[in-house]
Structure formats: structure tokens, C-alpha cells
Amino acid sequence: MAEEHVEDNPGEEGPVPVLRWDLGLFEQIVRSFRFPPEWDARYPAQNQTAADAPPGYITLYEDFFLQGNFRLPATNFMGNILHFYNFHISQMSPPGMVRVRHFEFLYRAHGIEPTVEKFRCKTQLILPNLIT
């Protein structure tokens, strides 16, 4: 759940870059977004990548919360979008999160229930722009 910062370590190559995590920001997000203790949010160990989440866990980036306005638990609309496009929340890019949340906010602000069908009619979606 931390912002992605690629470390300057040209000697290490791999499919996923090693990330530099910010424990203070992680704790602030957990506290300010009121993650219940039973969610057991975990700060990654040094030199872990986003792909190193333990079984049963997912990696979420700070941008989801701070820039994408993502909240947990996710709304039914978000779940329906993920299900329809057949991808996991951890595959969604922060700009994609902004696009989906913005659509949802606009519809809810006007008293209209957002649906996948309305999203598909009103949004030109290019999947590489929505997922990472």
C-alpha cells in the first residue's frame, strides 16, 4: 500500500522492480482510513516487490487511496466493474481507479445508481489505460 519508488540498484534485474516503502505513510493510511484490525494490513518487508504479497493478501498502492479516492470496503459498483472486465483490484492502475470512482461519484451525486451498463455507455474504455 505504499507509493511505488524504484530503488537505484542496477545490479538487480527482475520482472518486478524492488520497491522502497514508507512505513509512516502506511501507518497513516491504515489509521486515517480506519482499517479494522481483522484486516491484518501488513507493511511489506525490505526488498519485497508488489508481487511478494503473502497468500490471501493483495498489494494496494497509496495512490489508490490518496489520488484515486479508493475506500475499503469497496462499493458494489467497483466490484461489478472488476467482475465485468475480469481483472483483480491489484491490477487496476491509479488513473483507472480515478476514472471509475469519478464516474461513480458523478452518478451518485445526481441520485443515479451507477451500473456497469451505464459506465460502458458513457465511458470510452481502453483496457491498458485502466489496468497496470
**Could you report the per-residue pLDDT of 20-44, keeping only the tens digit for each?**
678 898 999 999 989 999 999 998 8
**Would you place residue 77 in the very low, low, confident or very high pLDDT band (cuts 50, 70, 90)?**
very high
Q: pTM score, two decimals? A: 0.64
Please give the pLDDT value at position 80. Answer: 96
pLDDT band at 106 (very low <50, low <70, confident <90, very high): very high
Distance CA 107, CA 67 (A): 19
Give the position of cell 451500473.
115
pLDDT higher at 111 or 72: 111
DSSP secondary structure of 14-54: -SS--B---HHHHHHHHHHTT--GGG---PPPTT--GGGPP
The angle at the Cα of 35, spanning 32 to 41, to the nearest 5 degrees, equals: 115
Question: Which of 6, 72, 77 has the alpha carbon at shortest distance from 39?
Answer: 72
